Structure 1
Amino acid sequence: MAKIKKDTNLRKSILQAAITGQLISNVEGETKTGKELLDKIIEERNAKLLAQWEEAKKKNPKAKKPAPIVPSEITEDEIPFEIPKSWCWCRLGDVGDWKSGSTPSRSNPEFYNGNIPWLKTGDLTDDFVDIIPECISEIALKSCSMRLNPVGSVLIAMYGATIGKLGILNIEATTNQACCACITHEPISNKYMFYYLMSQKKALTEKAEGGAQPNISREKLVIYPFPLPPLAVQNAIVAKLEEVLPLVDAYENAVLQKEELKTALPDKVKKAILQEAIQGKLTKSWRKTTTIEESGKQLLDKIIEERNAKLLADWEEAKKKNPKAKKPAPIVASEITEDEIPFEIPKSWCWCRIEDITTFIGGKNNQIQAKEILKEGKISVVSQGQSLIDGYSNETQKVINNIPVIMFGDHTRNVKYIDFPFVIGADGTKFLKPILCNEKYIYYLVYFIAQNLRNRGYARHYSLLKEEYLPLPPLAEQEKIVEIIEQMLPLCEKLGG
């Protein structure tokens, strides 16, 4: 589980996207809805209640039959946000057994220095709980109305300076009265519960009452609304958060000053996300559940085959004007030696170079001079500066319609994704058209590589780019990578706000 260290806009946005179903899509392998899952939980709880009553009747034939448990009703005005149709709203008390602890009397030496871990809220670190410094005795456990909480219990601090702090037990433990422990009912994911409570820290804290030590209380916890997804969706949300949140942690720790954090962290996290993407780490779990019909190497072979077919077609056309036109040498894919491999990639991927998988678009015939750029016009003008659009032109005969393309600034190393008709506004602006690949994936790939090219000032950089080895996934995985990136990057942008 990714440790949650600080409250940041990015982290809050990621958690909010997760608990509203926006961080994942198209989860397979689940047939039950959240409502059906809740009904099953209630059914099993009632069956257990009746079994306990039957057992109690053996000792006391007059034992009163318990009233059946029914799912809580959630009114319209209690619903804090929209959730997918396959989910349902319930309450925390419907999906877990919540119990706070107590503090054995310090005046009784028999209660302490035993072998039962006794957790205080200061021991919570928003992470797994492996070590608890203080222990109590078996006598204390039996005498003080305490529960020995099993491994996997979710813990939350209810008052004091640590209010809202969380943990998941990796060892059996009791707690003090300031901590509430939840044993989730099967099959609720305790990690999903943990991340949901983390996302609700502010809302829960605002419900706290009291003076010097505001208290959110067990009673408030059990009636708090809980968005219940199908089990496969719970697990997918947890898996996605455990991929994403470590990236936030790594770069939060790298930027110490508040102003630096605001300006630098979005770019750093974006870079980290793209690095994970082009190394196949964002789609690791996707590959385990997906049959890949065509490898990256097979895709590259198809690209080379198509390029050679076009080369021969161009030659045949040239021979009509010049029968002596020389037949071109066939294109072959770039080879990479073992010691040239920059990092490890999945087995279904392969290495290539940018000129293996793209072709150039546009030229002098599509270019206008800087002095010809207008403030208003029919066609957008694209150059190699920071802005996506430099201005406009009415030179419709110069427009490039073969889109989308990727712009690489030879002098600036800027990279842009151009999906609208345009004319070229400056020298040193190269436009690359991917062949049989997902254009957005190639854009993100080139963008990441360009950030790491050696800075040669205003000298040209394409010569460096074309020597770089690029990881090429199968086409289906390229599309999945783009989907994940485009779910995550908008959240990065919110961090600097």
Structure 2
Amino acid sequence: MTGQQLKNSILQMAVQGKLVPQDPNDEPASVLLERIRAEKEQLIKEGKIKKEKNPSIIFRGADNLPYEKIGKNERVCIADDVPFEIPESWEWARWGTLSESIQYGYNAPAQENGRIKMVRISDIQDNSVMWETVPYCDIKEGEIDAYLLKPNDILFARTGGTVGKSYLVQEVPEEAIYAGYLIRTRYSNQLCPQYLKYFMESELYWSQLREGTIATAQPNCNGKTLGNMLVPIPPSHEQIRIVEKLNAVMTHVIEYDTVDSKSKHLNNIFSERLKKSILQEAVQGKLVPQDPADEPASILLERIRAEKQKLVAEGKIKKDKHESVIFRRDNSHYEKLDGVERCIDDEIPFEIPESWAWTRIGSITELITSGSRDWAKYYAETGALFLRMGNLSKNSFTLRLNNLQRVQLPQKAEGTRTALQAGDLLFSITGEVGMLGLIPDKFETAYVNQHIAVLRFFPDIRNKYLPYLLLTDYAQKFYKGNQHGIKNSFRLDSIYNVLVPIPPSQEQKRIIDKIEKLFHKITVI
């Protein structure tokens, strides 16, 4: 159970009359509501508040069921509208019946200086107003009193992403009014303000709000919805006992939520860290035992070099301008580049088994390229898939196939060179550098944009070993250390130069199998 679920459960008990015991000596809520109605009628006579067009009175009938009389209409049984049973001493009431007023805020632009401060939705954070940053506004002197905030007013957000958010005004350090996207409710001082505020945090409140919310681009809820809400009203003294109990309990709920959140965070971190640890062991040759019968990785890389030279000779791929060959000599690592040999021991991040070999990614790829910039004019309902960064994953290489875009490309359109093949690895080169996506077998025709690089490895090494390697902390440290520009970008030549440890072909298969078995166990746990 989360902290929020625990809070919801406790609030539900509170508004159902199950949190504190009832006291038979308490004055029933029905008497309280009669007194509030009489008080309201007096304020109407004095012209201090407006008369309700159709006032609601809810009462228990002789059959012990709830009935409602609205204005001059006949009474109607509302047993189907009432969500749960409440104690005998409690009563149901509409928020509008309890309220002396439900009033929309003042519409004016916020200013650094002005006649008076104006509280907006954004100024309310964690059940308090950030008074230091509340802006000012200009308002006619004669209008101020109608919008002036007073202690125990309840503000209600009526639109946007925070619709339904409420705030109990406890103090007003200086004169202030409230903005147009807020509704202010005022009610009898015979009601406990904190009880009403707790009601506005309960699931009963939120469920009624959802029913009355207008679903648009900017969801909104009006004063009528608020006024129609059913509120369970306990006797006055029980309201105070409920609030005291909730105040005491919520301190522990906050502590529980903090501990629960930390625990979940640690569990998530543990899972990801364990996976990273497994991957690091894998690429250092420590996850599975070596088999002396395996063909060494050096022979595999020789075969890839020969295949590369053949494709260059056939004109199928371009020749490397700076071909790299890495080899061991005298227990050190050397790289031959442009006919010059140099020791690269200072670049080698860790030791690998004798049967393994280091190489640059560019030496084992047929293709490293990025997509085209010119795509918007080709967007269509049907056609080839167009993969973007949103289709890549941060901690895996699984393609995310939601929110797919499609394109209709002419035959010789810019970008057709990036038509994807099974086994291609996609790599984000801007923003969140290093997000991945592996193209599966039997994938439909697809292209990528300029924010994604396509890595096409030679068939002898076109498996999941290298995608797993590019998820390691070692690889990600390389990405972070070689980014350029304000927007964080990773150049294609930087991808080419990434040093990768290559196991023998058979060991690659054993490593992949072991990783997937271990990852499955972590997921199940």
Q: TM-score, structure 2 length as denominator?
A: 0.42
Bigger RCO (CA 8 Å, 6+ sep) = 1
| Structure with the higher fraction of residues in strand conformation | 2
Q: Which one has a bigger Cα radius of gyration?
A: 2
| Structure with the higher fraction of residues in helix conformation | 1
